[in-house]
Structure 1
Amino acid sequence: MRNHRNQNRSGSGGGASSYASPRARASILLFFIGLVSILSLFSLDLSSDNTETTERGYSENEIRILQAQLDKLKRDLVQQKTERLKAELVFHRNMHTIEAMIGSHGTLDEVKNMVSNIKADAEIETVEGKEKIDLMELSRREELEERSRRRRPYAHSDSHSERERRMFEIAKKAERSRNDETMFKEKLESPFLNDDKLNNAKTKQYIDSQPPNAKGFPVVLLTYNRPERLNTTLGSLLKVRGIVKEKVLGVQDGTIESVTNVLRYRRVLINKRIETPMDRKRVTLKNGKIDGGAKIAMHYGYSLRKAFETFPDAPAIVVIEDDFLFSPDFMEFFVSVAPTVETDDTLWIASAWNDNGFQENVNVKDHSKILRTDQFPGLGWMLLRSIWTEISQNWPANQWDWYMRNPLTSKWRDCVYPEVPRDFHTGTRGTFMDADTHKKYFDRIRYNTDANFRWSPNVYKEVRVGNYEKSFVETLKSSVHVTEGWQLEVPSDIPLVVWYVQNPHPSQEKSVKPLMERFGIWHQLMRGSRQGVHEFWYRNKKVIFINTYNPPKMSHEKMKKQLWFWGYRKQTKWISYKPKGIPVFKPMDLLYQMKQPLPKDVSLEPNFAGVDVKITAASKDQTGESCSTVCVSKHLSCNAKYLPLINNCDTLKEYFNCKKCTESVGGDQPNFVSEEGDSCLVNSDPSYFSCEGHFYSARRLCPCM
């Protein structure tokens, strides 16, 4: 008002006539002072009548004022936090633009660290902001308490003890937040591999020391445009023993927001591949269509490079895609075989996938079997940093998986994989996938779901090339070598070896595809094989399928081109173990024999005709022993082929005092269990017949020879 009057005065040019006399101004001033005094007394009377004090000595009006102030502070803090998070989002979206500006070298890691710091700072500032609110609330409360004590000296307060308690809680929250920030920023190390070559003792000592929940290698997950499957995959992955979110990097091909949201929801690390005009040109065909193989190869090369940059101390990474399910021991498999993959010069990759791991083609009783193959399986695999350095120099512009399968890339080294797969492929739609292909080759895969399974500490020894081949030779020597096709159609507890000859070139697939379909495995002969050898199960018996094909001699350059298909340069070295007189089958001839009626003297069910089988009952002292042990005590051997013939109540009653006889399921049957009321148990599932089965309170009935 004073300014307004001054402006009026300057506008009128000044003059005494514009103002009242000093005496009049003094009278007006006294009048207003008196009026204000009367109103003040009146308001005090009203407040004394209408306001009640609280037990702590301050009025409800003061509480409302305080609450309003606190609410305003909280709203301001939320607004500041929202603006800060918006700024972070904008920065995150522009991160790859910045990356393109600064190039793939130099300060890219600094840009990522800036994003990480923004996230961590946002969390810290949120906690600190709440601390400020809590402290301001306490300070105001103490001030009101002090005013209350001045008005009511007899009132007591525990504000100091409350302040100490609240300060302690706030300090704990801040400390937890700072610890989380440190964990988020620190470099993640993987101690499972050493820089130096491991000797056997050191490797064994290390693996034996690993706890069941030991953390494994960093995981890089490639994703594109399937947010629902991505969410399912991450949900399954994060349940795997040894997986931590801070060591999972999701590499997104593009910027689809729904895919990014899933990665954020699962709180894994995120990296996006932004396609440049040059990239677009490279993956576009002359007809304007996108070359899916080229686009995938580019995404894979980018993702593998970014994974090793993101985890600079990791000696290896595990590579997966966005349409997998995982076994509980998925990571433990890689941890178990990693020392051998690193130190065995004949190995270069470990994969959790078995191309022929179908329900009918694996041993459902044994989840610990590990095999070798000279063709890259993919679909959940471990890549050493040293191997990436080796293969990244010539990373292909297209068909990256066939580049990995080329023997000139692998340098004749093997991959190790479990007979029972440790992951499952769920995607029915993709660049090279449709529903029919998935149903035929992927839907029947049997992957491990047993959460109680643990890998043996010595598994790394079993896959070393010397031990692996020694075990294989022993199996060849103790197996039955097939002479007629019908032998593959009857039960057998002993592995069967089939010698055959077939050119593995894709142009010759028609000759072998019907036979492979009969067995239920891939018609592409290189899948799952090593040096011409397939190992799989057919009708509950193990089959070893050995290809004796001998490539023709040709020039070096022509041979290099053919290697892509053949996978080997010479005839399998296992040909020297073929017994004399054993035939080498052509696929179509073998299939024809398998389809023929069985000879009259042969039955699908085994019989004792012409066979010296002694039915032997375990004694009381042999309670809990297997049939193998029982037969050995008689200087004989057990043959599970004849277990079905004694798997009935009448035979059991001849050897045991059975008060009752019931059907059950188990590899320890047929047997007699005295603890269950002298019961005899008959096995109702033929797939469980075994000479090795045993139960602590059971006495077995055994076919000994």
Structure 2
Amino acid sequence: MRAGVVLLIVGAVLLVLLQVVLFGDYNRELRGLSEHVHRTEGLRNQLQQALEGHANLSKLYSDLDQRLGAAYDRIAEEQAGASATEAALRAKLRGGFRQSGGGLGLGAAPHRKTDAGAQRSTGAAKAHIYPSGHEDEECVGGALDTTGVIAAVVSVVFNRPDYLKRHAASLLAVHGSDLTYRQKFPLFFSQDGTPVHIGTQEVAQSYEQISYLHHLERVAPVVRQRQEKIEYYRIAAHYRFILRTMFDCFRYSRLIILEEDMDLAPDFFSFFEALTPRLDRDPTLMCISSWNDHGQDKFVRDARQLYRSDFFPGLGWMLRNELWQELKGGWPGSYWDDWLRQNGTRKGRQCIRPEVCRNYNFGRDGSSKGMFFSQFLEPIRLNTENVDWLREDLSYLELPRYDDDMAATLAAAKEVGSAQEAEAVAGDVVLRYDSQEHYERVAASFGMLLEWRDGVPRGAYKGVVSIRWGNARVFFAPSSNYVDPELHPEEYVNVDANGAIMRGRSL
């Protein structure tokens, strides 16, 4: 009996020891896992609280955003019926709401969509969502009331919703800085794509101040060479749709064309307003542009300096209805901008462009796949000075005074032969070139964009291109021995890496 009890006790002890040996690590792991679960539960509770706080903050932001938008519309209505208080209310907007509003941006708040075709705003600008349309079919809408309109403004849109949000914020911040701009510059987004990119469409239709158009493609275009990108054909068709809709259907007198990847300078609309009379009365002008191809930070200084250019700049430009009536019969199937740069299209006319750009292209991703973006687009300086262009004396842009001043400047400038020599000079210098090849060599030493179109270098007027370089202003000018490049404007040579046609030596 005693022996049995002893055996039971010994067995129990051995069993305990065996459990400790076999399950000790498991028990420790189980305790550790239990502690980890406890800590994770705590973190989950903290995260839940943070999310609830974020939701409350988002709701607060949304409520405040809607109130600001409503306040903006009420002020616009009051100004429409009380012109005597216009200046005071505008000062209140500039000095009060815009500065205290911070990142909310009084003029940049998106609003809910409305039914297609419905009027979406009060005040001077009547924003609509128009039905889809094709460039060769009936109009998506009839003639609009253009009373008091300087120029309609259309932003070209495709499939980049994040870019469009940034562009819209910049556009509306500048457009909303002066309430009269609603009357003077009605805003439109025109989206391409069949089927349409839904995410971008939702963004484009979410702004009360901006009407919406959609270009519909019935049949895919046929490219002339296998290597070409079809996108360039679709872009040309979309531009034709925009120009025809705004001029032939809506009957606007002038149009400013932007793109969905542009930030705007604070004086953007003042710039175009002041130059509109000059474009209207000067038959030697084809357009007004807010862009300088050589507008990189290292090449510009004077925010008030304007130039004539034989090279069509694009990238933020204004044209008149009369020019469209002249051009629409020959509108090209692709490469519309290079077509405008051909001498046969331009017919000796120029565009006015600034030294410091009034728009900045931030779109690294696009049809050209970011070609030259880091080197030539990213370093562009966007003007930050709010120049009152209506007070500027722009008579120096008139012909023949502009030519006379240019000749006198070149005659008085010191002649140099290199970037190093120019850097050592304060004031105007001239660097003469004998051919396109010579120009490209010397311009490359400055780090400039070298492209020519139909015998015209970018930014040139009568062959003269100007940049700032240190304390000097450098004029690249043809010498007395200059030889024109051999041109083959209608000969398609090959297609470059981006799917664009190269004609002769020009891209």
Amino acid in structure 2 at the alignment position of 1:494: G
**Aligned equivalents of 1:514, 1:550: Cα separation in 2:** 15
Matches within 5 A, 1:267-282: 267=208, 268-276=210-218, 278=219, 280-282=220-222
For 1:664, the equivalent position in structure 2 comes to none
> Displacement of 1:550 after TM fit?
4.0
Is the CA contact (8 Å cut-off) linking 1:190 and 1:315 kept in structure 2?
no
Amino acid in structure 2 at the alignment position of 1:247: P
SS at the partner of 1:450? coil
**Compared with structure 1, are the counterparts of its residues 530 and 265 closer, same or farther at alpha carbon in structure 2 (3 Å cutoff)?**
same
Decide which of 433, 436, 447 is 1:520's aligned counterpart. Answer: 447
Decide which of 435, 443, 454 is 1:502's aligned counterpart. Answer: 435
Is the CA contact (8 Å cut-off) linking 2:435 and 2:484 kept in structure 1?
no
- Is 1:345 the counterpart of 2:283? The answer is yes
Larger Rg: 1
> Displacement of 1:234 after TM fit?
1.2
**Compared with structure 1, are the counterparts of its residues 559 and 273 closer, same or farther at alpha carbon in structure 2 (3 Å cutoff)?**
closer
Amino acid in structure 1 at the alignment position of 2:319: L
**Compared with structure 1, are the counterparts of its residues 262 and 284 closer, same or farther at alpha carbon in structure 2 (3 Å cutoff)?**
farther
Per-residue deviation, residues 381-433 of structure 1 (Å, max 9, x unmatched)? 00110001111110100111110111110101111100011000010011113
For 1:162, the equivalent position in structure 2 comes to none
For 1:180, the equivalent position in structure 2 comes to none
> Displacement of 1:94 after TM fit?
9.8
For 2:124, the equivalent position in structure 1 comes to none
> Displacement of 1:478 after TM fit?
2.7
Q: Which has the higher contact order (CA 8 A, sep 6+)?
A: 2
Amino acid in structure 2 at the alignment position of 1:261: E
For 1:465, the equivalent position in structure 2 comes to 399
> Displacement of 1:455 after TM fit?
1.7
> Displacement of 1:513 after TM fit?
4.3
SS at the partner of 1:109? coil
For 2:415, the equivalent position in structure 1 comes to 481
**Compared with structure 1, are the counterparts of its residues 460 and 87 closer, same or farther at alpha carbon in structure 2 (3 Å cutoff)?**
closer
Is the CA contact (8 Å cut-off) linking 1:533 and 1:545 kept in structure 2?
yes
Amino acid in structure 1 at the alignment position of 2:240: G
SS at the partner of 1:528? coil
Amino acid in structure 1 at the alignment position of 2:145: K
For 2:164, the equivalent position in structure 1 comes to 230
**Aligned equivalents of 2:241, 2:269: Cα separation in 1:** 23
- Is 1:542 the counterpart of 2:482? The answer is no
For 1:375, the equivalent position in structure 2 comes to 311
For 1:263, the equivalent position in structure 2 comes to 204
For 1:442, the equivalent position in structure 2 comes to 377
Aligned-residue RMSD, C-alpha? 3.4
- Is 1:307 the counterpart of 2:238? The answer is no
Decide which of 413, 419, 444 is 2:349's aligned counterpart. Answer: 413
For 1:332, the equivalent position in structure 2 comes to 270
> Displacement of 1:286 after TM fit?
5.6
Matches within 5 A, 1:573-588: none
For 1:239, the equivalent position in structure 2 comes to 173
**Aligned equivalents of 2:489, 2:160: Cα separation in 1:** 41
**Aligned equivalents of 2:171, 2:272: Cα separation in 1:** 14
**Aligned equivalents of 2:294, 2:396: Cα separation in 1:** 21
SS at the partner of 1:282? coil
Unaligned runs of 5+ in 1: 1-83, 114-185, 192-215, 568-705
Is the CA contact (8 Å cut-off) linking 1:220 and 1:304 kept in structure 2?
no
Amino acid in structure 2 at the alignment position of 1:539: G
For 2:235, the equivalent position in structure 1 comes to 296
SS at the partner of 2:422? helix
Amino-acid identity (%): 25
SS at the partner of 2:258? strand
**Aligned equivalents of 1:355, 1:553: Cα separation in 2:** 21
**Compared with structure 1, are the counterparts of its residues 252 and 460 closer, same or farther at alpha carbon in structure 2 (3 Å cutoff)?**
same
Q: TM-score if structure 2 supplies the norm length?
A: 0.64
For 2:147, the equivalent position in structure 1 comes to 189
Is the CA contact (8 Å cut-off) linking 2:157 and 2:190 kept in structure 1?
yes
Is the CA contact (8 Å cut-off) linking 1:317 and 1:382 kept in structure 2?
yes
**Compared with structure 1, are the counterparts of its residues 513 and 342 closer, same or farther at alpha carbon in structure 2 (3 Å cutoff)?**
same
Is the CA contact (8 Å cut-off) linking 1:361 and 1:520 kept in structure 2?
no
**Aligned equivalents of 1:290, 1:428: Cα separation in 2:** 18
Is the CA contact (8 Å cut-off) linking 2:164 and 2:260 kept in structure 1?
yes
- Is 1:95 the counterpart of 2:95? The answer is no
SS at the partner of 1:220? strand
**Aligned equivalents of 1:387, 1:495: Cα separation in 2:** 36
Amino acid in structure 2 at the alignment position of 1:344: D
Is the CA contact (8 Å cut-off) linking 1:297 and 1:396 kept in structure 2?
yes
> Hey, which of these two has a bigger chunk of helix by percent?
1
For 2:334, the equivalent position in structure 1 comes to 398
SS at the partner of 2:352? strand
SS at the partner of 1:244? helix
**Aligned equivalents of 2:485, 2:431: Cα separation in 1:** 26
Matches within 5 A, 1:126-205: 187-190=145-148
> Displacement of 1:109 after TM fit?
2.2
Aligned length: 363
Is the CA contact (8 Å cut-off) linking 1:420 and 1:446 kept in structure 2?
yes
**Compared with structure 1, are the counterparts of its residues 93 and 251 closer, same or farther at alpha carbon in structure 2 (3 Å cutoff)?**
closer
**Compared with structure 1, are the counterparts of its residues 274 and 464 closer, same or farther at alpha carbon in structure 2 (3 Å cutoff)?**
same
SS at the partner of 2:475? strand
Matches within 5 A, 1:12-23: none
Per-residue deviation, residues 558-584 of structure 1 (Å, max 9, x unmatched)? 68869x7799xxxxxxxxxxxxxxxxx
Unaligned runs of 5+ in 2: 1-112, 119-127, 493-502
Is the CA contact (8 Å cut-off) linking 1:283 and 1:292 kept in structure 2?
no
Per-residue deviation, residues 21-75 of structure 1 (Å, max 9, x unmatched)? xxxxxxxxxxxxxxxxxxxxxxxxxxxxxxxxxxxxxxxxxxxxxxxxxxxxxxx
> Displacement of 1:342 after TM fit?
2.1
**Aligned equivalents of 1:298, 1:258: Cα separation in 2:** 22
SS at the partner of 1:238? helix
Matches within 5 A, 1:552-591: none
Q: TM-score if structure 1 supplies the norm length?
A: 0.47
> Displacement of 1:474 after TM fit?
2.5
Is the CA contact (8 Å cut-off) linking 2:270 and 2:390 kept in structure 1?
no
**Aligned equivalents of 2:446, 2:459: Cα separation in 1:** 14
SS at the partner of 1:433? coil
**Compared with structure 1, are the counterparts of its residues 533 and 235 closer, same or farther at alpha carbon in structure 2 (3 Å cutoff)?**
same
